């Protein structure tokens, strides 16, 4: 087992956990999440909340399993850019903005390098 592959796995898990936690939070506080989205001018909040849950959960599972990792990371990156733009550009959201940029950096690394050898893809460059 290669050290780089172990680090890649741990990195994937660390990036995935925030998206799983976020999806779980949306599921367990669906109405509150929809109200929050509506307060930021989001139309169709219920549908967008369901879409957000699906993107976060499926993207996180892709990262955890190392299956279609680049696709999952790209979906999460696209989602993260949109969420950051809508919810975290106000001055009082600076730390959330910077956190999201850091996560985006990790996702871009996954897109560039793939999942590593400890994955269902086995480190394939697909």
pLDDT of residue 122: 79
Rounded CA gap, 3 and 100, in Å?
A: 27
Per-residue pLDDT of the chain (126 residues), as tens digits, is 799 999 999 999 999 999 999 999 999 999 999 999 999 999 999 999 999 999 999 999 999 999 999 999 999 999 999 999 999 999 999 999 999 999 999 999 999 999 999 999 975 554
Q: 32-54 burial string, b = 16+ CB within 10 Å, else e?
A: ebbeebeeeeeeebeebbeebbe
pTM above 0.85, yes or no: yes
pLDDT of residue 126: 45
């Amino acid at each position: 087992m290669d050290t780089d592959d172990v680090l890649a796995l741990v990195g994937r898990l660390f990036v995935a956990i925030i998206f799983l936690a976020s999806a779980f939070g949306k599921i367990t506080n669906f109405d509150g999440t929809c109200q929050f989205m509506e307060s930021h001018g989001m139309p169709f909040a219920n549908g967008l909340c369901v879409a957000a849950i699906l993107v976060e959960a499926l993207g996180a599972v892709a990262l955890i399993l190392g299956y279609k990792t680049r696709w999952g990371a790209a979906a999460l990156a696209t989602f993260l850019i949109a969420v950051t733009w809508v919810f975290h550009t106000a001055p009082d959201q600076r730390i959330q903005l910077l956190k999201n940029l850091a996560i985006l950096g990790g996702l871009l690394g996954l897109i560039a390098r793939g999942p590593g050898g400890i994955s269902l893809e086995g480190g394939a460059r697909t």
